[in-house]
Structure 1
Amino acid sequence: MTTRSTITTAVRSYLGKAPLVVAVAAFSGGICAAPITDAITNGTSSLDTRYRYENVDDDGAQDDARASTLRARLGYETAEVANLKGYLDVEHVTSVGPDNYNSTINGRTSRPVVADPTETELNQAYLAYSGLAETKLTFGRQRLKLDNDRFIGNVGWRQNEQTFDGSTLVNTSLPDTTITAGYLYNANRIFSDASPKGDLAMDTGILNAQYEGLEYGSVSAYSYLIALDNKPDDSTKTFGLRYTGDAPLSDGVNALYTLEYAHQSDYDDNTRSLDQSYYSLEAGIDMSGVQFKLGQEMLGSDDDTAAFQTPLATLHAFNGFTDRFLSTPKSGLVDSYASLSGTLSGVDLMAVYHQFDSDEGSDDYGSEAALQATYSLNETYSLGVKYAAYDADGYSQDADKAFNRDADKGWVWVQASF
């Protein structure tokens, strides 16, 4: 068990005082003289809508899930006054037709979970200040996406996305470098405010520095210190390094590669002593827009008692679209995969295959095959279809786990952004 680090304390202290700094700077910049009404009337509105039909056939459920949902997200950004700008958006999710799925709050427990509850809630509401040189300060409820969303993401696949309450700083004063620092005290999760799991209270310090000045790639170094208020034994600190890029091999042919390593241990009031590692290795080739990749991601186990976790990630993007591994099993997870993607007649196509195994021991966790096709009609309208099938391969241990049973999932969606 460790006490909260001085890094988090310093970040929290600085960002906690930042609104006062902003207020003083704004006042000195003449916000009192600026017409606030102009900031509002000269702002810009936005509307993002998505209809999706999701079908789930899960061997662990009595009935299939058939979720027909429509999400509408209405946003408004004010014009800038004295380097200050405000933004607000509201999400509304409604069911189109019968509620034939388990949204986690509608009581349809005989059906598989499709975590798209029909609710209305405040998605983002923040104040952004850009009066410091090459620096943006944001205070309030905001969307966060860092690197590939493996550790901090918005879970944009779900109808109700994940956003964060807190303060962040983004600085680009160093050449080819973006530094993101922040203090987060709550995650507004995909389950909505109507669910007991809708909020994840925490004291989290984030620090991510990305350098893009290399000829054939970019490198990121990061630190995520997550102290969970109601789950202290899940509090962790993670430090990592990521390198990703591409390099030309010949005309129209590029090599693709990603290398990443992270270490995770106990943090704050965690009574457990944790020591677990993560790595991601990926290599591929791009031939005139057709990409083939081979990769392996490992979320390590600590002597079969606990495993590497990423609770603030966009988890749907990793370890299979059937979402069998939203929480890493105690024995850890090794995900070996191959993917093929390209564009045909304007349609983006992708096929991916995963083989899942444990880190500790030699358990076969099964496999998944998936296909996806998306098409953009124009800048406003897009549509897509996706199908994924998970085969548990007869795995019989941990009977309460999702990866103990076969599942098939299919999606059709249409999206419009104005």
Structure 2
Amino acid sequence: MKKVGMAVIAGLAGSSVQAQNVELHEAFSGGTVYGDLRLRYEQVQQDNALKDAEGVTMRTRLGYRTLDYFGVSGLVEFEDSRNVLGFDDYNDTLGKNTNYSVIADPETTELDQAYLQYKVGQVTGRLGRQVITYDNHRFVGHVGWRQDRQTFDAARLTYTPLASVTVDYAYLSQRNRIFAESRDLPSKDHLVNARYQSPLGSITGYAYLLEVDKGADNALDTFGVRYVGQSDLESLAINYTAEYATQTSESGNNEFDADYYLFEVGISAVNLTILAGYEVLGSDNGQYGFSTPLATLHAQNGWADQFLATPSGGLEDLSFTVKAPLAGGNLTARYHEYSASDSSVNADDLGSEVDLAYQRPFAQHYSAGIKYARYMAGDAAAGKVDTDKLWVTLGAKF
């Protein structure tokens, strides 16, 4: 990755150089220090033999960003997650309290981001550990809901030849996942995302070619297209999204193919939004389910996190969402109905879920929220159980 990154920077340096705006010492002394703190209580109750989980964690994120110097800038950021107030009765995914339900927030202190960026004209190059997200985080996201968010060790190029066109390429050499450093994965991933903002809406084409660098043959190749549009009818705004992707998974002598579909229609009026969605993560004859390992999965198929891995029979998710302002904050209510996308599998009814959330900012730098998810299991053969999750959060940024 280092050789690739140096070639990127060298290539960019050969282009025209922006005018110097500050002295070198001013680029450092005039930089920005920032912080982000989040205190959270989480409770998990499941209808199985595991004990109910309960945890209070504090996530602290501190960073520093320089000013531009001849188009070059840098950022360094540290992140720490700790148990506080004595509430640590949960399975942290690293072998602690395995007789409890999972709360995926292990204690950790790590370098969250550290990169150099060079911008010249319509091209931006970035080398190092960084956050990368595309579109709605369905395929590539930062999993910001967890206390240890996901970042990537990457070399990235973004080209914007026109205001309406953006082409982005990233090579990932490591996936820094949400389970602390011990479970990060070396990789050889290529991400391409190209967007055109047309008069009729946004059109995005993408190719995500993923490979875990573990010394054995494996590949997960996804190609897709996404369309997002909006129509205004007097006091109403109608929003619509359509997306399709095809995927091939290869591991050893096994090869599977699956498709992905998404259709959403929303109506907004007087700050009230009502949204209906239908998402299908396809299956290859009940043997493999469409996979998105780099996604912000918590934001996709229900906050109870019952479908972080797609079942081998695939997943159909019919959802209805209502969003509305309330008492200076925002209220979200969502309902999911789940079923297998391959009707030949034994477990067709995968259950349903109700999600509720209220978030409110206050005193300029602070926010508070409460969030609840209730998953109701379907067919016993699906291996799911009734699950309730509750979160209470207090955040501060400076």
| TM-score normalised by structure 1 residue count | 0.89
**Structure 1 range deviating more: 79-88 or 34-43:** 34-43
Question: Identity percentage over the alignment?
Answer: 39
User: Per-residue CA shift, 1:101-136, capped at 9, x if unaligned?
Assistant: 1111252111111111111100000000012x2111
Equivalent position amino acid for 2:386 in 1:
D
Residue from 116, 137, 155 that aligns with 2:143: 155
Name 2:229's counterpart in structure 1.
245
Secondary structure of the corresponding residue to residue 381 of structure 2: coil
> What 5-or-longer segments of structure 1 have no aligned partner?
1-10
Distance 2:18 2:357 in 1: 51
Is 1:138 aligned to 2:126, yes or no? Answer: yes
Deviation for aligned residue 1:230:
2.7
Say whether the 8 Å CA contact 1:205–1:225 is kept in structure 2.
yes
Is 1:417 aligned to 2:393, yes or no? Answer: no
User: Per-residue CA shift, 1:188-238, capped at 9, x if unaligned?
Assistant: 000011x3xx212111111111112324x2111111000112385652111
Secondary structure of the corresponding residue to residue 380 of structure 2: coil
Is 1:48 aligned to 2:29, yes or no? Answer: no
Distance 1:15 1:263 in 2: 30
Deviation for aligned residue 1:30:
10
Is 1:118 aligned to 2:103, yes or no? Answer: no
> How do 1:70-81 and structure 2 match up within 5 A?
70-81=58-69
Equivalent position amino acid for 1:312 in 2:
L
Say whether the 8 Å CA contact 1:233–1:272 is kept in structure 2.
no
Distance 1:29 1:287, change over 3 A: closer
Secondary structure of the corresponding residue to residue 397 of structure 1: helix
Secondary structure of the corresponding residue to residue 81 of structure 1: coil
Structure with greater strand percent: 2
Say whether the 8 Å CA contact 2:350–2:382 is kept in structure 1.
no
Distance 1:206 1:15, change over 3 A: farther
Deviation for aligned residue 1:303:
1.0
Say whether the 8 Å CA contact 1:372–1:385 is kept in structure 2.
yes
Deviation for aligned residue 1:12:
11
Deviation for aligned residue 1:38:
3.0
Distance 1:380 1:373 in 2: 17
Residue from 159, 174, 180 that aligns with 2:162: 174
Say whether the 8 Å CA contact 1:61–1:112 is kept in structure 2.
no
Name 2:192's counterpart in structure 1.
207
Distance 1:13 1:239, change over 3 A: farther
> How do 1:19-418 and structure 2 match up within 5 A?
19-22=9-12, 36-98=24-86, 99-105=88-94, 107-131=96-120, 133-193=121-181, 195=182, 198-215=183-200, 217-230=201-214, 235-250=219-234, 252-266=235-249, 270-361=252-343, 363-393=348-378, 395-399=379-383, 404-418=384-398
**Structure 1 range deviating more: 221-230 or 372-381:** 372-381
Say whether the 8 Å CA contact 1:175–1:213 is kept in structure 2.
no
Distance 1:231 1:387 in 2: 41
Deviation for aligned residue 1:270:
5.0
| Aligned residues: CA RMSD | 2.2
Distance 1:354 1:231, change over 3 A: farther
Say whether the 8 Å CA contact 1:235–1:270 is kept in structure 2.
no
Between Structure 1 and Structure 2, how many residues are aligned? 393
Distance 1:151 1:409 in 2: 24
